[in-house]
Structure 1
Amino acid sequence: MNMKSRSHPPVLVVMTQQEKHEFMPPDLEARLRALFPELVWADAPLRDDQWRELLSEQRPEIILCAWETPSLPPEAAEHLKYLCFLCGSIRSLVPRELIESGLKVTNWGSSVSNTVAECTLLLILAALRRVGNWSVAMRTKGEWKKGRHPDTLSLFGRRVGLHGLGAISCELVRLLEPFRVQISAYSPSVPDETYKTLNVRRAESLEDLFSTSDVLVELAPGKPDNYHIVGDDLINLLPENAVFVNVGRGMVVDEQALVRASRERGLHIALDVYEVEPLPVDSPLRSLDNITLLPHLGGPTPDRRRDCGKLALQNLENYVSDKPLINLIDLNTYDRAT
């Protein structure tokens, strides 16, 4: 096979027609084909044997792919230099040893922060207004509010605590501005300048954060040190009528502690992530009254997945121009992914 020029390296695109429609609509596909006129497009899903045969035949230097792509076999490292993943976690797609050997991998990274923040705001409002309670009660029990004094709450003027101050939290801070809330955050590795720029108070400890938050949003990274870091001790520090929202990582929270707080203290909870996904049918979370549940929908909605495609195109252009890649996944990031 003749060596390809740097501007036209062998490129393999693997995705389903639905993924193509959402991540790479016609205008973005046109840009992609202009950048790589000789690319090869393969329809997913693929059996493992088909996948290995395709890799052996095409020997791509670059792979652009989405959710339905099979895991990379170790021999892919012989020719593959860059995997541009349109989605989030790459743990099931890329073996760790390939990154150790120098494979460059990027994902959707911060391009989805705005839609996750949007979903977070939805869950905050739903918990404060008790949407989960009333949606079930009205549909299944024929209930209606009793009197003029329901226990619903407004977001305006509340104290909001963010456990984690990454890209999603930064977007959420901007969305919360019209509600004139007081925001605190606990994220020790984030510099003071970031807190100052966002007008966010740096909490001295997790205990400080939880005890001073009417709305606690869980956005801590899913690293081993954070396993069940949020348990009874912290949850019971939340003030009366507080709400707890988790859109980060399920493993950070002891779900049994949430169940106890809901049943014993009436804590209102809103969750989009869980320690085990899909959430088991017999999970006690499903039986709680004071809860709003979403099935991990916080990521980009199908109509905004084109944002991930645009980021991927930028990265592909950067790659062929020897410019830095955006959201490059190193071993530390890989190990923190779920």
Structure 2
Amino acid sequence: MNSTNLIVLKDRERDTFLKGGRLESLQALLEPCLLVDAETCSKKEWAELLAESNPEIIVGGWGMHPLPEDTMSALAPALRYLCYLPGSVRHLVSREQIDAGLLVTNWGNSISRTISECALLLTLSCMRRLTYWSHQMHDEGGWKDSSTVTLSLFERRVGLHGFGAIAKELVPLLRPFTSRISAYTEGMPDEVYQEFGVRKANSLQELFSQHDVVIELEALTPDRHQIIGEDLLRSIPEGGAFINVARGALVDEEALLRVVKSTELQVGLDVFAAEPLAADHPLRGCRNVTLLPHLSGPTTDRRCDAGDRALENLKRYRSGEALIAPITSEVYDRST
């Protein structure tokens, strides 16, 4: 049976992930291939398309339907590789399909620098009380007075909870402001901290209580669910800030609410326990909380970085080389 590879994207995904000739390069790598409009392809049509095309490779985006459980056994036995342009694939493929030999990749750490950029943005916004002053200037006719306190990031003690790809991209962005950077994550070898010139904190309690800014960058695992509770948040020194660009479920959100409503702790959040954030959520309206709607990375103009990662992996696949950061069964189990 002939095999036709599939590119399954919405128009907007095609125009941002694969701009500037990337689509044409992708099509050349996948020939023969079919470009599918994900917005008009129904779930029933998707199963039929898999059976008719029997693709070896699928390149997909957010609009792609999940792979039916019998894809590799019946619908498309030629399928070997799902090259997913965005992030989480748990809603698209099962662990059993990966165990059966399906190769899967996503944008991986190609988006780490834009997330770190957003972490810096939220940090600076908190230090300068951006949400409070934006409200005052736009809605209250406010202006500074003799009692106004302003704070800077320069020479601040910054603690990073988690030291993966995003944290490693963030460290050089913080360097112009401070050299007082520490990190804490379980199981990280000491030499990794040393390589990046970062001090290793001895505990999570130390990280929070001895740093003016704590930036949440840890991976979410079952044992880390709501690991950030009220005691840790209250231990951040006066005038400090807590930033989360990792996962909302790392934080006890009710405890966070109690802290922000009873202290001057500045908080910057791009992620939440439940998304999208409810329109009437009590975090909305807190003037010491800066909110973003989970847009830390990649920015629309930098989705092409993920497109470049996909092209590189497809070239590697075609030449029989190892893929960059494949989603193995173990990676699948700890992903969110």
TM range (shorter): over 0.9
**Shift in Å at residue 99 of structure 1?**
1.6
- The residue that corresponds to 1:134 in the other structure is 133
The question of whether the paired residues in 1 share the 8 Å contact of 2:157 and 2:178 is answered with no
Secondary structure of the 2:138 match is: helix
Structure 2 gap segments, 5+ residues each: none
- The residue that corresponds to 1:7 in the other structure is none
1 CA distance for matches of 2:179 and 2:122?
Answer: 16
2 CA distance for matches of 1:54 and 1:246?
Answer: 41
- The residue that corresponds to 2:175 in the other structure is 177
Amino acid at match of 1:73: P
Q: Please show how residues 28-107 of structure 1 align to structure 2 within 5 Å.
A: 28-45=22-39, 46-78=41-73, 79=77, 80-107=79-106
Q: Please show how residues 1-338 of structure 1 align to structure 2 within 5 Å.
A: 1-2=1-2, 10-45=4-39, 46-78=41-73, 79=77, 80-147=79-146, 149-338=147-336
2 CA distance for matches of 1:203 and 1:155?
Answer: 20
2 CA distance for matches of 1:36 and 1:328?
Answer: 19
**Shift in Å at residue 332 of structure 1?**
2.9
% identical aligned pairs: 48
Secondary structure of the 2:175 match is: helix
Query: How much is the aligned-residue C-alpha RMSD, in angstroms?
Result: 1.3
Amino acid at match of 2:258: R
2 CA distance for matches of 1:152 and 1:54?
Answer: 59
Amino acid at match of 1:57: E
Deviations along 1:19-50, one digit per CA (max 9) or x if unpaired, are 00001114112221222331111111221101
**Shift in Å at residue 139 of structure 1?**
1.4
The question of whether the paired residues in 1 share the 8 Å contact of 2:5 and 2:31 is answered with no
1 CA distance for matches of 2:308 and 2:51?
Answer: 29
Amino acid at match of 2:50: L
Amino acid at match of 1:304: R
Secondary structure of the 1:13 match is: strand
The question of whether the paired residues in 2 share the 8 Å contact of 1:156 and 1:181 is answered with no
1 CA distance for matches of 2:334 and 2:144?
Answer: 44
Structure 1 gap segments, 5+ residues each: 5-9
2 CA distance for matches of 1:282 and 1:62?
Answer: 43
Amino acid at match of 1:133: Y
Amino acid at match of 1:332: E
Q: Which moved more, 1:201-210 or 1:261-270?
A: 261-270
2 CA distance for matches of 1:220 and 1:36?
Answer: 36
Deviations along 1:37-73, one digit per CA (max 9) or x if unpaired, are 3111111122110110110100111100110101110
2 CA distance for matches of 1:231 and 1:285?
Answer: 16
The two structures have a TM-score, normalised by structure 2, of: 0.95
